[in-house]
Structure 1
Amino acid sequence: MNKVKDRCEKCNLNFHIEPSFYTGSMYISYAVGVAVAVTAYVLSLIFNMQLGPTGILGIIIISLVVLMPYIGAVSKSIWAHFFLKYNPEIAKKVSNDSRT
């Protein structure tokens, strides 16, 4: 679960720039997790749920556990986009590739 491929199937781009490259995505994952927690809290206020601190904590924990695979995938994608740049020339070659 949540494993990153070694290379792109179409353009052969190396997704592992260095060992432990995606370790930095932990920091992004923390920020995304905080955003999910704040969103869960705000939604509980919008829907006027009369919950105490324990109920709100439960809602936040449940939402984080349910969304954990998505948070991990999004954080790795965001981290990779800081370093892997889009190249239009490669994109043209890949779009004309017969493997698609």
Structure 2
Amino acid sequence: MNKVKKNCPKCDLKYSIEPSFYTGSMYVSYGVGIAFAVATYMLLLIFGFADNPFTIFIAIVTVLAITFPYIGAVSKSIWAHLFFKYDKLIANQVKNDSGA
């Protein structure tokens, strides 16, 4: 299900990333988590549920717990897009060469 080729068949780019990549994506994950927490707080303010600090805390923790897998995936994608360039021509060549 979650298998990735070791190298790109066209340009031989190595897909395995050094461990420091995940450290960098952790920092992005922190920022994305803060964005979700602020959005949750703003929604609580808009709907009038921000009267109790405990309610705010529980709501933010619940939203972060539910969205944790999404935040992790998005943060890795954001961090990777800072370093890898997507070339549509190469992607089409690989797609055509693999018979897909």
With normalisation by structure 1, the TM-score equals 0.80
Q: How much has 1:92 moved relative to structure 2?
A: 1.8
Between structures 1 and 2, the one with greater helix share: 2
Partner in structure 2 of residue 21 of structure 1: 21
SS in 2 for 1:17: coil
Partner in structure 2 of residue 68 of structure 1: 68
Percent of aligned pairs with the same residue? 51
Uncovered stretches (5+) of structure 2, i.e. residues with no partner = none
Partner in structure 2 of residue 42 of structure 1: 42
Q: Structure 1 pair 93/58, CA: closer, same or farther in 2 (3 Å)?
A: same
Q: Indicate the larger mover: 33-42 or 81-90.
A: 81-90
Alpha-carbon RMSD across the aligned residues, in angstroms, is 2.6
Higher relative CO (Cα under 8 Å, sequence separation at least 6) belongs to 1
Partner in structure 2 of residue 51 of structure 1: 51
Q: How much has 1:8 moved relative to structure 2?
A: 7.0
Uncovered stretches (5+) of structure 1, i.e. residues with no partner = none
Aligned residues: 98
With normalisation by structure 2, the TM-score equals 0.80
- Structure 1 CA distance, aligned partners of 2:87 and 2:40? 37
